[in-house]
């Protein structure tokens, strides 16, 4: 597909292909004169080395894979921005795979990758994943993996996460201090690390403030947004004493916001909401929504950075390289101008 290959270029120059190869790679054993001549002609002929020949030869693909549940989520969009930037800096290419939170799809994707297609993997676990055998296999094959945000506890790799426990504790405490006594928790899949950690932070804050934990206030937000909206509305109707909501992910925060609007529950006078959200504008559009914002961009960057260090140094990514970044609780003083 390239117009000209190494041999043709060498022919044009009256040199052997190995000399040209070396000249192109700035080898020390090539005279400056020939190197420059080679590179000039290469540019003229628009020579581009075939990346697959190189990969075949060197077992280096200059490519990483990013495996994600979805993209309809601000966290992941921002994370990819960070990943892609670091990848470009390192001269790497980024393959993207979406699992739609299905364990099966995740397995299928990892299977593609057992062929040595990539030098490393960045992974945010699907909520539908049960075992991690497919990932262990990849590790065994020597493919470095760095997990971010949604990580498996059993798979021993470096991880980049946020302070899920601490920020959830803080969020719940924020509600308690604002006077809430009956606080619902909208959960992501419990099998997900972020799910259980955020739940634990919520429970711990309740306990610290001597509020009994009530499992009936915990709603597992699976399924479509519409479905969640319905179920949240139901919960709020059944338990009218609820005066606070802590939502563990963006879409549940928004759904609960809508549910309150529809039920005519004034926010934040009548009921208060705190939710994880990385949508820059969400907290602005919904001024009464207090948000926990994760440094999504930084998480992507750091995860990629850790991965590249492992790739370049040919060292495994150890759990010890893990990082936990801080989220930010943004409590808006709902001071927006008149609306409606």
Contacts (CB under 8 A) with a second copy, residues 124-143 = 137, 141-143
| 289-293 and 328-330 beta bridge pairing | antiparallel
43 touching a second copy, by CB under 8 A:
no
16 touching DNA, by CB under 7 A:
yes
Of the residues 27, 31, 44, 48, which one makes contact with a second copy according to CB under 8 A? 48
Nearest-10 crossing angle of helices 6-13, 32-44: 120
49 touching a second copy, by CB under 8 A:
yes
Q: Specify the residue, 169 or 257, whose C-beta has the smaller distance to a second copy.
A: 257
Q: Specify the residue, 19 or 291, whose C-beta has the smaller distance to DNA.
A: 19
97 touching a second copy, by CB under 8 A:
yes
Stretch that binds DNA, among 11-19, 178-186, 241-249, 332-340 (CB under 7 A): 11-19
225 touching a second copy, by CB under 8 A:
yes
Contact (Cβ atoms closer than 8 angstroms) between residue 150 and residue 69: yes
Rounded to whole angstroms, how far apart are CA atoms 79 and 299? 6
Backbone angles phi, psi at 186, to 5 degrees: -100, 120
Q: Specify the residue, 173 or 302, whose C-beta has the smaller distance to a second copy.
A: 302
- Per this entry, what is the length of the chain? 340
61 touching DNA, by CB under 7 A:
no
Tracing tokens 């930010």 back to the chain, one arrives at: 328
DSSP per-residue letters across 51-112: HHHHHHHHS---EEEEEES-SSSHHHHHHHHHHHHHHHHTT-EEEEEE-TT-HHHHHHHHHH
Mask: binding to a second copy, 237-256, rule CB under 8 A, as x and -? --------------x--x--
89 touching a second copy, by CB under 8 A:
no
């Amino acid at each position: 597909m390239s117009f000209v290959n190494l041999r043709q270029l060498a022919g044009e120059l009256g040199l052997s292909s190995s000399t040209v190869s070396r000249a192109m790679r700035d080898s020390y054993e090539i005279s400056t004169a020939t190197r420059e001549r080679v590179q000039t002609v290469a540019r003229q002929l628009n020579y581009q080395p075939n990346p697959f020949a190189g990969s075949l030869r060197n077992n280096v693909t200059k490519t990483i894979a990013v495996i994600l549940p979805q993209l309809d989520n601000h966290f992941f969009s921002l994370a990819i921005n960070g990943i892609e930037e670091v990848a470009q800096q390192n001269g790497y290419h980024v393959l993207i795979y979406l699992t739609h939170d299905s364990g099966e799809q995740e397995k299928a994707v990892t299977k593609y990758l057992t062929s040595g297609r990539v030098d490393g993997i960045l992974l945010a676990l699907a909520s539908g994943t049960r075992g991690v055998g497919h990932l262990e296999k990849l590790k065994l094959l020597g493919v470095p993996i760095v997990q971010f945000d949604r990580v498996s506890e059993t798979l021993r790799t470096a991880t980049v996460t946020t302070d899920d426990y601490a920020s959830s504790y803080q969020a719940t405490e924020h509600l308690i201090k604002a006077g809430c006594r009956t606080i619902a928790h909208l959960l992501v899949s419990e099998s997900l690390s972020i799910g259980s950690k955020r739940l634990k932070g919520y429970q711990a804050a309740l306990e610290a403030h001597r509020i009994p934990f009530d499992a009936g206030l915990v709603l597992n937000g699976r399924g479509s947004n519409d479905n969640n909206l319905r179920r949240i509305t139901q919960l709020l109707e059944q338990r009218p004493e609820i005066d606070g909501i802590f939502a563990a992910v963006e879409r549940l925060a928004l759904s609960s916001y809508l549910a309150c609007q529809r039920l005519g529950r004034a926010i934040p006078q009548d009921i208060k909401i705190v939710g994880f959200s990385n949508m820059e504008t969400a907290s602005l559009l919904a001024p009464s929504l207090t948000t926990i914002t994760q440094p999504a961009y930084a998480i992507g960057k750091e995860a990629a950075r850790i991965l590249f260090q492992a790739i370049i140094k040919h060292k495994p990514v150890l759990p010890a390289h893990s990082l936990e970044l801080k989220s930010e609780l943004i409590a808006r003083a709902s001071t927006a101008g008149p609306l409606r």
